[in-house]
Amino acid sequence: MGTFCSVIKFENLQELKRLCHWGPIIALGVIAICSTMAMIDSVLWYWPLHTTGGSVNFIMLINWTVMILYNYFNAMFVGPGFVPLGWKPEISQDTMYLQYCKVCQAYKAPRSHHCRKCNRCVMKMDHHCPWINNCCGYQNHASFTLFLLLAPLGCIHAAFIFVMTMYTQLYHRLSFGWNTVKIDMSAARRDPLPIVPFGLAAFATTLFALGLALGTTIAVGMLFFIQMKIILRNKTSIESWIEEKAKDRIQYYQLDEVFVFPYDMGSRWRNFKQVFTWSGVPEGDGLEWPVREGCHQYSLTIEQLKQKADKRVRSVRYKVIEDYSGACCPLNKGIKTFFTSPCTEEPRIQLQKGEFILATRGLRYWLYGDKILDDSFIEGLVFFRSF
């Protein structure tokens, strides 16, 4: 009940502005189109409500829509939870293990990271999601993951309705050899026939909704499996990257040490319970975390400090040989570069020929790094053409 109240009682009406963003507009648009068309198709053309099966089908469609929207708005408006402004550990000596955030005027708690979009340090930050226009973190990780699960399930149900609607309506109208297909159509027969005919516009709209449903099932379903993979290891996307860099650092310097991720509880079930609870409230307070034997609260932050100290040594310096406007998906840099643009809101850095960048990591056609400007750096994402 407390979670529900937190959804409808916004601490600040400015939170409603999160809806005024391309991500929520597209996401809510897809949900509205698929759910509305599925209900219309069911009532008018596929499965009449005066049958038991039709009623159950319609109730299930409403149930999917309500649960999807509930978890979506929960993830958006409840938010990830932010580190209190001016926060510092109770033991002053522990500050030596933590990074200091100049924007929040506070130390970064274990597992927290500063988000440039939210302009706050986020508890157990996983990533900033443009589809909810908010970060995914400590408080809303469960709601966000449930949304990723429910959306494909609802779309699969809707896609079935769309396919069966088109099939039943075209069954005796077009001669495509469908007469030989042995499907029991008795449940979908209507007596009398539907008042609203299934015309060309209805067919085109249903086909469009089917494309949206199938695309959403594939795209969001993949995101769900990625999230579940890291949840069962009690990690976040950022922590997975930190662990990868830690192993790379040890291998690069041939160090006689083994990096042990401190928050892995040793079993998938225990890791699962760190995020999903019956009360809906995640384990802990977002500032201190249970750790495995042999580790302590600051094992991961110490590794981050090592990587930060090593960053300038390990980064690769490149000279810009071609101007880049900073466009998100540059059309003049080739088809492959256009279609492999990272799906992130990281700022793209405008570059001019002759400038220098310091790359920390990269994809095939894009680099993450800093633009060297005198003695300062501008962080972001830059275009890179491989030869």
Q: Answer yes or no: is pLDDT of 101 > 60.
A: yes
Residue % of the chain over a pLDDT of 90: 49
Mean local confidence (pLDDT), 221-228: 95
Q: Answer yes or no: is pLDDT of 177 > 50.
A: no
Mean local confidence (pLDDT), 264-272: 94
Read off the pLDDT band of 174 (50, 70, 90). very low
**pTM confidence score:** 0.83
Q: Does the annotation count 20 as an active-site position?
A: no
Read off the pLDDT band of 196 (50, 70, 90). confident
The predicted pLDDT at position 6 comes to 46
Q: Answer yes or no: is pLDDT of 100 > 80.
A: yes
Mean local confidence (pLDDT), 308-332: 77
Mean local confidence (pLDDT), 169-183: 53
- The residue extents of the domains of the chain are 13-81+138-177+194-232, 92-122+235-310, 315-377
CATH of domain 315-377: 2.30.30
Q: Answer yes or no: is pLDDT of 159 > 60.
A: yes
Mean local confidence (pLDDT), 26-42: 95
Rounded Cα distance between 102 and 179, Å, is: 71
The predicted pLDDT at position 363 comes to 67
Q: What is the DSSP string of 114-139?
A: EETTTTEEETT--EEETTTTEEE-TT
Lowest mean pLDDT among 71-85, 230-244, 273-287, 314-328: 314-328
**Could you count the other beta carbons within 10 Å of the beta carbon of residue 178?**
13
pLDDT in tens, 269-315: 999 999 999 888 888 899 999 999 888 889 999 998 888 777 655 66
The owner of tokens 């501008």 is 378
DSSP H helical ranges for the chain: 2-8, 22-41, 52-73, 141-170, 200-231, 237-253, 268-273, 299-314, 335-339
Read off the pLDDT band of 168 (50, 70, 90). confident
Mean local confidence (pLDDT), 52-80: 94
Higher pLDDT, 206 or 176: 206
- The answer to whether the CB of 382 falls within 8 A of the CB of 360 is no
List, in order, residues 6 or more apart from 9 with CB less than 8 Å away.
Answer: none
Rounded Cα distance between 230 and 69, Å, is: 24
Mean local confidence (pLDDT), 101-119: 93
**What mean pLDDT, rounded, does the chain reach?**
84
Choosing from 104, 129, 136, 155, which is the catalytic residue? 129
Residue % of the chain over a pLDDT of 70: 83
Which long-range contacts does 109-118 make (Cβ < 8 Å, 24+ apart)?
A: 109/83, 109/286, 109/287, 109/288, 110/287, 110/288, 110/289, 110/297, 110/298, 110/300, 110/301, 111/138, 111/236, 111/239, 111/263, 111/289, 111/300, 112/83, 112/286, 113/238, 116/347, 117/345, 118/82
Rounded Cα distance between 18 and 20, Å, is: 5
